[in-house]
Structure 1
Amino acid sequence: MRRADRLMQLVQILRDGTLHRAQDLAQAVDVSLRTIYRDMETLAASGVPISGERGIGYRVTAAITLPPLNLTLTEVEALHLGLSAVGAADDPELAQAARQLLAKLDAVMPETPSAAPARYGFAVYPFAEAARGFQHLPRMRQALRARQKLELTLQGEPRTVRPLELDYWGRLWTCVVWCEKRRDFDVIRVDQITALRVLPSLFVAETGKSIADYKARQKDGDSQSATGPTGRK
């Protein structure tokens, strides 16, 4: 049995809300006790509300559990936009529930551990900032598809950029761009854009200015870091 199938079977067993001994779970899915302990840790880390411990037993504590979902970036955007609206509502109970749900989503969203949080200092995504960033995403996606340049204002600085790729880091949306003012690649946080306008001018793929070139540069940088620094500050 594949591990993913076994984990789903364990969730189905535990979702009745009763206490299940690890030994019984091991027999039910035909694995060792050690494997059951690891599986329980995996389920808990994935956001399944598991309570219990070794030697006592385990149960799922949530009133409602959902099967695994595969979401597109657009679906994630829609979900976070809805949470942003509810989180800013006057109903304290609903606002708190929205924040708790966002925390659960953040816990299981894929994230590049070696890059995003450390490089950009991302913190928990405030709802007001989320709403501010989401307003720009439809036009940014439009510009990406049509290869249209964007005029952005970041911290009072107007910039003309070529949008190359939108990324989601579990808390914040970012966009890889080629900045015509700086003549270089940049990664901007969408929530920090104070003004955005889609320009009528189009751009074509040019050597040294494409998303493939950006990723190649990142890969080269990672390789150099792995082999050791070329200089010290």
Structure 2
Amino acid sequence: MRRADRLFQIVQYLRGGRLVTAAMLAERLEVSERTIYRDIADLQSTGVPIDGEAGIGYIMRSGFDLPPLMFNREEIVALVTGARMVRAWGGTSMSAAAEEALVKIETVLPDKERSQVGGTRIFAPEMGLPRATRNLIDRCETAAEDRHILTFSYIDKGEIKTDRRVQPLGLWFWGKVWTLVAWCELRNDFRMFRIDRMEDVTDSGQVFTHVPERSLAECLRQLEEKYGPQ
């Protein structure tokens, strides 16, 4: 994650009006607490009204909001294209959210830029994903966000079925196939599971603890070490 994106996310987390500790932010953003302390100090120095101190927590004074964002043509094309892709190939909730995002983006743009939204010439034809698959994508995304352990039966490419209990870390899209990236408790290692080969998926409701050695960041590190930058 770029530093600018991380600073933006910190502001969003603090806008809830509740005390947030550096440890909570560090865990959520997968950086060290020292990095969070430095980011908070930099935000405060630019006038963002953040109160608090290290070891106690931080809170943002009410009334603060980010200035409106403006987009150039290339940024509009990227946003519209991304939203169209999600609408065509994402989960049920993702697709609806992408449609709503396009509406919101269009309403805040000046007239000249607004015309570029509908005029973007990049399209994403529907893949015809079954509704059950779209719903499963949403369920896996929610489980990864909430850190809920998932159980399911998995059918591998050799048509061998095994029961799995995993700690979901994220979703990857490969153009035609969605995979769930997770820490598999059966294999005691990182694994990727094709969404369309998962059956009887159940959210256990059990929350797993963030462990650096089993995190998405560590999974990416191992992949880069094996295959090069992803």
Measured against the shorter chain, the TM-score band is: 0.3 to 0.5
TM-score, normalised by the number of residues in structure 2: 0.44
TM-score, normalised by the number of residues in structure 1: 0.44
